[in-house]
């Protein structure tokens, strides 16, 4: 199933398509108006509270989902004070069902129904079905297997560890009644902690030995899809889901933990979707904003983090999708290679 040709041409109003069928937006990646000088308070407030900004829709969605998990889908805390196969198996099954539904919806709409064909798709081809780099020689089957068989159990293990720690008072909880300001500020800061943790763990995984042993599994997905998001080596899953460890050092409300966990568990579907925009409700578009991570999978040496905390800009590894940015990236890599191999550079 695909759209009519006249609708397929709509993406050319927003970008260009090369001979291979790869789509690129006209506008380069724009960093939010946070770390800018002079300050831009009006733009900042629009970004903070506006649609497709900091709060709406995604961060609000992760928080709301986390609240559902905490208040409706957890065993009693006194039960989780003791490690037991019963409640651990329940969490494992619950997480497997949630992952299967969430990632399947993205994949089904974009890659099975292909309801918008390659409209707004960064890579004009579809995931490979005959490639020995993947388990079963099939990218999608490999990604599904790694998500359900590795990511879900390791994510569940982190969950179990944190709930057990809470139930046994190994961490300090803060109630909303006790300190509402602290709780609200914490909820606003959770995405920033996620970005910081993700950037530096991700950057470490690009150190040559760790890349070769572990991270290369994830980078087999050059042409990413939703299921690629959590298709990692099990050791990488351990590090990726480790962000709640900070809560052993700072007081927190349970929703801080849940927002953190859900962010890590569900956001990779969007970040690896492989499309710049999704067509919904006829011809209405919603931005997916996955270009920077698509470029990371394509070039490997750029965009190690995300947008809000511009570590890539500060460290010189930002690729905003423009030809100028690509030229700067290539020049940076050439200079780095020359420093490491001066004899070859002179030759």
pLDDT for 339 equals 83
pLDDT at 4: 44
Three-point CA angle 3, 13, 295, nearest 5° = 90
Domain ranges of the chain: 5-346
**Region of residue 136 (left: phi > 0; alpha: psi -120 to 50; beta: else):** left
Q: Please tell me whether residue 319 adopts helix, strand or coil conformation.
A: coil
Q: Is the C-alpha dihedral spanning 19, 21, 27, 31 positive or negative?
A: negative
Task: Give pLDDT, residue 286.
Answer: 85
Average confidence score pLDDT of the chain: 93
Q: Report the pLDDT averaged over residues 43-64.
A: 94
**Cα 184 to Cα 336: distance, rounded to the nearest angstrom:** 43
DSSP state of 229: G
Q: Which spans in 58-146 are helix H? A: 58-72, 77-80, 85-107, 139-146
Q: How far is CA 1 from CA 108, 109, 110, 281, in A?
A: 11, 10, 10, 16
Which pLDDT value is given to residue 282? 64
CA 55 vs. chain centroid, Å, equals 16
Asked if omega into 228 is within 30° of 0 (cis), the reply is no
Kindly report which listed range (134-143, 197-206, 210-219, 299-308) carries the lowest average pLDDT score.
299-308
224 contacts 294 by C-beta, under 8 angstroms: yes
- Which helix (H) or strand (E) covers residue 17, if one does? strand 15-17
Please report the pLDDT score of residue 1 as a whole number.
42
pTM (predicted TM-score): 0.93
pLDDT of residue 2: 45
Neighbours of 87 (CB within 10 A): 17
pLDDT, tens digit, 9 for 90 and up, residues 251-271: 999 999 999 999 999 999 999
Coil vs helix vs strand at 280: strand
Quick one: tokens of 319?
């690729």
Q: Can you tell me the mean pLDDT for 237-255?
A: 98
Residue with token string 């993947």: 134
Q: Do 287 and 277 contact (CB within 8 A), yes or no?
A: yes
Three-state DSSP at 326 gives: helix
Residues 6+ apart with CB under 8 A from 113: 1
Contacts of 199 (CB under 8 A, 6+ apart): 304, 305, 306, 309, 311, 312
Q: Is the pLDDT of residue 3 over 50?
A: no
pLDDT at residue number 195: 95
pLDDT at 7 over 70: no
Token digits of residue 342? 């001066």
Across 197-206, 210-219, 277-286, 320-329, least confident range: 277-286
> 220 pLDDT exceeds 80?
yes
pLDDT digits (tens, 9 = 90+) for 293-330: 999 999 999 999 988 899 999 999 999 999 899 999 99
Cβ neighbours around 90 below 10 Å, total? 16
Query: What would the pLDDT profile of 101-150 be if each residue is shown by its tens digit?
Result: 999 999 999 999 998 999 999 999 999 889 999 999 999 999 999 999 99
């Amino acid at each position: 199933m695909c759209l009519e040709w006249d609708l397929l041409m709509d993406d050319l109003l927003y970008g260009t398509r090369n001979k291979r069928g790869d789509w690129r937006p006209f506008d380069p990646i724009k960093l939010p108006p946070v770390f800018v000088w002079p300050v831009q308070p009006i733009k900042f407030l629009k970004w903070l509270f506006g649609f497709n900004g900091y709060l709406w829709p995604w961060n609000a969605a992760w928080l709301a989902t986390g609240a559902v998990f905490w208040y409706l889908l957890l065993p009693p805390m006194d039960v989780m004070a003791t490690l037991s196969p019963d409640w651990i198996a329940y969490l494992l099954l619950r997480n497997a069902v949630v992952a299967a539904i969430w990632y399947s919806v993205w994949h089904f709409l974009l890659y099975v129904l292909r309801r918008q064909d390659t409209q707004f798709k960064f890579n004009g081809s579809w995931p490979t079905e005959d490639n020995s780099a993947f388990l079963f020689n099939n990218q999608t089957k490999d990604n599904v297997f790694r998500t359900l068989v590795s990511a879900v159990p390791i994510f569940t293990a982190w969950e179990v560890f944190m709930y057990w720690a809470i139930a046994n008072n190994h961490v300090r909880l803060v109630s909303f009644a006790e300190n509402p300001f602290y709780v609200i500020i914490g909820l606003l800061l959770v995405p920033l902690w996620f970005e910081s943790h993700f950037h530096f763990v991700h950057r470490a995984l690009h150190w040559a030995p760790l890349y070769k042993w572990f991270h290369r599994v994830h980078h087999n997905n050059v042409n990413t899809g939703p299921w690629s998001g959590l298709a990692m080596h099990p050791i990488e899953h351990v590090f990726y889901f480790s962000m709640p460890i900070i809560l052993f050092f700072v007081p927190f409300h349970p929703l801080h933990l849940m927002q953190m966990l859900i962010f890590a568990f569900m956001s990779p579907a969007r970040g690896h979707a492989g499309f710049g925009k999704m067509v919904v409700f006829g011809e209405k578009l919603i931005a997916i904003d996955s270009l920077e991570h698509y470029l990371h999978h394509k070039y490997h040496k750029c965009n190690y983090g995300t947008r809000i905390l511009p570590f890539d800009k500060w460290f010189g590894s930002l690729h905003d999708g423009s030809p100028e940015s690509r030229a700067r990236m290539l020049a940076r890599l050439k200079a780095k290679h020359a420093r490491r191999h001066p004899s070859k550079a002179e030759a």
